[in-house]
Structure formats: C-alpha cells, structure tokens
Structure 1
Amino acid sequence: MERIDLKSLTEDQTKEFIKSIGEKPFRGAQIFKWIYKGAQNLEQMTDLSKELRGKLDDFTTIANLSIYKKFSSKIDGTIKYLFSLEDKNIIESVMMKYKHGVSVCISTQVGCRMGCKFCASTIDGLKRNLKSSEMIDQILKIQSDINQRVSNVVLMGSGEPLDNFEQVKQFLAIVNEKNGLNIGYRHITVSTCGLVDKMYKLSDLKLPINLAISLHAATDEKRKEIMPIANAYSIEDILKACRYHIEKTNRRITFEYSLIKGFNDSKEDAKLLAQKLKGLLCHVNLIPVNKIDERDYKKPDINDIETFKKILKKNNIEATVRRSMGSDIQGACGQLRRRNL
C-alpha cells in the first residue's frame, strides 16, 4: 500500500484520511496544524498519543526537502536555494524581498521538457514531476530559513506548471488553506509557455490567481524558432484561451517577453505585439534575456529596451521592464542547478 504524504493534503482531506483509519476527525486538524508549525516527523507532534503516532507511521509519510546549497546576493538580498529531494534530485527556488513582502519563485518539475531555447532549465530535459507536497515544502523551508512569512508565490522556477497540472491543482488547494500557509490566490502567479488545453482547465477552476504567459515573440514564425510549443499552439490559440481566462476570473493576464538582441527587439516587433494584444486586459513584462553558457543570446541595448516599452505604452499596452534580481548568484531560472549538475 502506498503511503499517504500528509504534506500533500488539505485540512479537510487530512480529516477524511484520519476518519478512514478509525480516528476522530479533530486529530486531522491537529496534524494539519503541526505540518505548518514545521513538524518534519510524527514524533514532533507531541499532542498525539504514542499509539496514534505508531498507527500513522504504518500509513503515512511527510515530504521533506533539505537545503543542499544556498547563495545570497550581495546586491539585493535575493537568496537562491538548491534543494535536495528525497530521491537525491536537485531543484531550485528563489527568495526575493520587496516592499510589499517576501516572494518566492518555486519549481514544479525536476527539469523541463518544453525545450525553450532561452531557458537553462530545459537543457537536460524532464526528470520527473514534483508532488504538491514538494512544492509546498519549498515555501515552508524558505520561511523557516529566513524566519519570515512568505506572502507571494510564483510558479515560474524549473518546469512547466501546466505540464504537471494535477499536482499544481492540488498545490493551489493547499497553499490557500487558512490554517496552513494562508496565501491568498491573488498573491499566486502560475506561469505557462502556452499549454492551451491546460489553460482552459485552469480557467475552469475559477481561481482568482494571476496567469503569466511566456510569449517571447510577436509572430508564430519567430516563436517556433525559440519555443517548440509554438508548433502545437499558435499565438491566436493562446490569446483565445487568455480571453476565456479573463471571462472566468476577471483577472489581468501578464505576458512575459524575453528581449533578445537582434531577434525580437525591433520597433516592428513592438508594434506587432501591441496590435496582437489590443483590447486585452493585460500587462507586458519585458525581460532582457539572461546569459546562458550554451546559447549565444544577448541583451538588447538599454535604449532599444526603452523604445520597445514606449511603443507598447503609446498603443495603450501596460508594460514594465523586469528588474534583474540575484544576478551575482545566477538567480535566473535553471542557471544554478545546471552549473551544479
């Protein structure tokens, strides 16, 4: 019989499980609270009887990541974590401090199979999906390490979140729990490179989360050069799914656009992007591309970045340039894990 991972359950699911093994549901509430007090094993749950802990030991496990390495930026205080999983795989997470609170960027897979050419996470392919408990534990371990509450979560680390849809769905149910992490849906961002079928499934959950789309080009032709997923779904397919998401959630979409010198950073690219996004409740996050050893992509000049932004704004498309954080510790997705491997 496969053991139940207690960290992968909502409070109600914990109560139901406890009930199924002949115990009182209130014991489930106790166990759930212990998980979010940082208990890493049953022995630490001191208000449970020895008999109950012994019984639970036969049926359950508690996922536990360990900090393998961490690197703190001397520039802005960003911390990059390499976490070791119980099967010895390595994933990355990033902690960033802002005026509005602590944000963490977590991984949803070990590696990635999407093949985007500007991303280091995908170079060695997908090893496996993360369990919802392993996503939750990235947040718990960071909170414990910095002794501060995490208030914002971005699913934009290693992996494509919607390629691990069921576990991400369960993560979203757990992370919002009042007696758990209690992070509001409006403080959670799910990123996707454009898995349109899963975008519809996510929208049908009607959760007021933030959806970020990795677009990175204004034409299907250019997108296909850097993102294999573009061979399956066109930009128009994605925009149609975005309109559906807005209709279901009334939430603004963010489009991530990595600016690559001489490839997608021209005035014509900006005008075409503005034309495509006209009338959509959206915001464009411009990202000067990060250097990856295996690729020859370069950041555009600052003047070209500003010109691109101005063209979007002139066409009534809200746009900002992402502030680079943790540049001295290889803070961008996949860089540190790949270097470590």
Structure 2
Amino acid sequence: MTPLLGLSLPELTAWVQQQGQPAYRGKQLHKWIYEKTARSLGEITVFPKQWREKLAEYPLGRSTIYHKSVATDGTIKYLLKLADGQVIETVGIPTEKRLTVCVSSQVGCPMACDFCATGKGGFIRNLATHEIVDQVLTVQEDFQRRVSNIVFMGMGEPLLNTENVLSAVRSLNQDIGIGQRSITISTVGIRDRIPKLAQHHGQFTLAVSLHASNQHLREKLIPSAGGYPLPELIADCREYVKQTGRRLTFEYILLSGFNDEPEHAEQLAQLLRGFQSHVNLIPYNPIQEVDFKRPTRQRVQSFVKVLEERKIAVSVRYSRGLDADAACGQLRASKAMNSVNNGVGA
C-alpha cells in the first residue's frame, strides 16, 4: 500500500473515488493530512465511521519521534523512526522570524566525505517522498509553529534521489504552502545531475558543496571528486545559472590549516570570477572520527576579506545546534541506530 502523504489534491481525490467515496472527500483528506497533520485515517472524524474503521490500517506515511536532543540555542535534532525500522535525523532551527528544517534525503550517505559524520556510517537507502515531507510536518507539529524554510542538507546526497526530492519539493510547495524560493537543495556534485536539474526550472536555490579551491584538495575531502573534476563541475554550475536565471550558492567548509589559507581564497575567487553566485563559508563543526580543526575567527575573516576584495559575494554561517550534534556535518546514521538499539527514547 502506497502511503498517502506526498500525494497532491487531484491524486487524493482520485484515491477516495477508487474507494467508492465522493470526490469532495479528497479535499477533506488533503486538509487533514497537510493542515491538521493527521497520523492515521482513523483520526479523520469527518469521514464515515464505517469507512474509517475499514481503512484504519491504511498508511498515511508518518514517522515516529524516537528521540530528540535540544541544543542551548533552541535547535532540536530529531531521530525519526520509519515504517521499516530505519532511523533518520532531522533538525528544526528556530529564530525569532523563521523556523528552518534541515531534512534528510537518504538513510546514510554514499559520498563518504572525510569531514562529514553521515558518510562515516555508510549508505542504506533512498527516502521516499512521504518520508521527506513527513520530516517537515513533524517539526512543524512539535514546534507548534509554521515552517518557513527548508534546506536539503541533512543525511544523504539529494541528487542521488532526485525524483523523490523533486516530488517532495512539489508537495512542500503546493500542499503545505512553503515557497520554492525558501527551499534549498544542497549537493556535493554528481556528474550529469546538475544539467538535468536545470531542465526542471525550479525556483528553489541550488547549493553546491565545494569545500576546496582546487582539484587536489577536493579529492582529499570528497572521494567522488576524482570522477567529476572541478572544472567540469564549475562549467555545469555556470550552465545551470544560464538556464535557470537563478543565483547559485557555493558552500565551503573552512578547515584550519587545510583549505583556509589566503592562497585558497585567491584560488576560489579566480574560480568564481564573473559568476552569479554566493559563497557560504562554514567554519568546521568537529566530529570524532577525524582530526580537522575549526579555524579561528581571525582566519575566517582573513578568508572573507580576500573574497570581498575580489568582488565575490560571501557570508559566514556559524552553524546552530553544535552542542546537540545537530550542526552541519554532524548528522550520522550509525549514531541514530545505536540510540534506537540501546533503547534511548524521547
């Protein structure tokens, strides 16, 4: 049975009609799933009792909050248990004006980036559309506050699950009402996927995880970089901007003494010259498995100064949720599974 979460109003209308119900039940179902965040068909009290009882076991596609960690800054990391027992991590990041959800697109990640905790645990499977949409509804429900922004920067590589990610973006936009311009899809760069993504002409922001200013350094950090050289990646990014008219974001994790020297900033500026783009610098968030260090604020600002002097748009993002292991690069499948296996509950 295909879960109903993630289906559009026309699809839900067709489904209720297949069940022998009138078409207007589709609109009721849509409202209860996306506005009232029902977790079972049995909760939908506007439906006939006999029909509800008949469909009591039909899945809507909601997960269970198995555990959550609250950081001192109010960021919350959720361990969500899926229908097959797998566990993913999702992060709710509140500010006074916004509630951002960092969603996962896969259980684990096959990219194995050296600085990222998720890749250390390996890859299990792609997430289905409903499993992606559910993360946003779960955070919205728990915070009792409307989600305003979504970033596909959780566990997994979104462009290795493009079909389900784009399906989820459609649902988040049309069913939940989150503007595409408030959605960011982050990728480390997968050969041939960025040009294909451009063909969809989405209004979301594409963020490319660069993390190095030359091919040699990038291959040390990202195993897949050898098969997708930096010049080809940048060429595809330029074509993406040309095709979509959308500014592209480049993410660059600063690792002290590794990729944060002035010469690296110079190389990066040369690489991005004449580009409709924005560089998002992220001081490294520590994980146990590697010995990279976070740069000092002085080194970060020196890097920023070089880029600004060369007219490169740049900002620094100091990640939220660091003390709850909920910051960029700290999400991991293995730790989530260990929490479940050891009986850690909410």
Answer whether TM exceeds 0.5 for this pair.
Answer: yes
Among candidates 9, 13, 35, match of residue 7 of structure 2: 9
2:147 is the alignment partner of 1:123:
no
Q: 2: distance between equivalents of 1:188 and 1:296?
A: 32
What code does the residue aligned with 1:95 have? G
Q: 2: distance between equivalents of 1:336 and 1:69?
A: 14
Specify the alignment match of 1:252 in structure 2: 247
Aligned length: 335
Taking structure 2 as the reference length, the TM-score comes to: 0.92
| Aligned residues of 1:292 and 1:335 also touching (Cα < 8 A) | no
Specify the alignment match of 1:219 in structure 2: 214
| Aligned residues of 1:18 and 1:24 also touching (Cα < 8 A) | yes
Unaligned runs of 5+ in 1: none
| Aligned residues of 1:120 and 1:338 also touching (Cα < 8 A) | no
What code does the residue aligned with 2:148 have? S
| Aligned residues of 1:110 and 1:158 also touching (Cα < 8 A) | yes
Q: 2: distance between equivalents of 1:197 and 1:100?
A: 37
Q: CA deviation at 1:57?
A: 5.5
| Aligned residues of 1:265 and 1:304 also touching (Cα < 8 A) | yes
| Aligned residues of 1:117 and 1:227 also touching (Cα < 8 A) | yes
Q: CA deviation at 1:50?
A: 3.5
1:196 aligns to what SS in structure 2?
coil
Q: 2: distance between equivalents of 1:69 and 1:54?
A: 30
Matched-pair identity in %: 40
Specify the alignment match of 2:342 in structure 1: none
Q: CA deviation at 1:331?
A: 1.7
Q: 1: distance between equivalents of 2:264 and 2:330?
A: 27
Specify the alignment match of 1:209 in structure 2: 204
More displaced, 122-131 or 80-89?
80-89
2:80 is the alignment partner of 1:109:
no
Taking structure 1 as the reference length, the TM-score comes to: 0.93
Q: 2: distance between equivalents of 1:21 and 1:335?
A: 41
2:172 is the alignment partner of 1:172:
no
| Aligned residues of 1:160 and 1:192 also touching (Cα < 8 A) | yes
Q: 2: distance between equivalents of 1:105 and 1:167?
A: 16
1:279 aligns to what SS in structure 2?
coil
2:39 is the alignment partner of 1:40:
yes
Q: 1: distance between equivalents of 2:147 and 2:187?
A: 22
Q: CA deviation at 1:337?
A: 4.9
Cα deviation 1:203-238 (Å, max 9, x = unaligned): 111111011100000111111111012112112222
What code does the residue aligned with 2:310 have? N
Q: 1: distance between equivalents of 2:241 and 2:184?
A: 14
Q: CA deviation at 1:55?
A: 5.8
2:32 aligns to what SS in structure 1?
helix
Q: How do residues 63-74 of structure 1 correspond to structure 2 at under 5 angstroms? A: 63-74=61-72
Cα deviation 1:37-64 (Å, max 9, x = unaligned): 1111111111122354356558x42112
Q: CA deviation at 1:324?
A: 2.5
Q: CA deviation at 1:273?
A: 0.4
Q: 2: distance between equivalents of 1:265 and 1:329?
A: 26
Q: CA deviation at 1:256?
A: 0.6
Q: How do residues 275-290 of structure 1 correspond to structure 2 at under 5 angstroms? A: 275-290=270-285
Specify the alignment match of 1:261 in structure 2: 256
More displaced, 17-26 or 212-221?
17-26
| Aligned residues of 2:42 and 2:56 also touching (Cα < 8 A) | no
Q: CA deviation at 1:306?
A: 0.7
Q: CA deviation at 1:19?
A: 3.6
Q: 2: distance between equivalents of 1:201 and 1:32?
A: 31
Cα deviation 1:165-207 (Å, max 9, x = unaligned): 1111110111111xx3100000000000001322122211111
Specify the alignment match of 2:59 in structure 1: 61
Q: 2: distance between equivalents of 1:270 and 1:217?
A: 9
What code does the residue aligned with 1:186 have? R
| Aligned residues of 1:157 and 1:334 also touching (Cα < 8 A) | no
Q: 1: distance between equivalents of 2:203 and 2:305?
A: 29
Specify the alignment match of 2:231 in structure 1: 236
| Aligned residues of 1:92 and 1:334 also touching (Cα < 8 A) | no
Q: CA deviation at 1:289?
A: 1.1
| Aligned residues of 1:8 and 1:131 also touching (Cα < 8 A) | no
What code does the residue aligned with 2:45 have? T
1:225 aligns to what SS in structure 2?
helix
Cα deviation 1:250-299 (Å, max 9, x = unaligned): 21111110111121111111001000000111111111111111111111
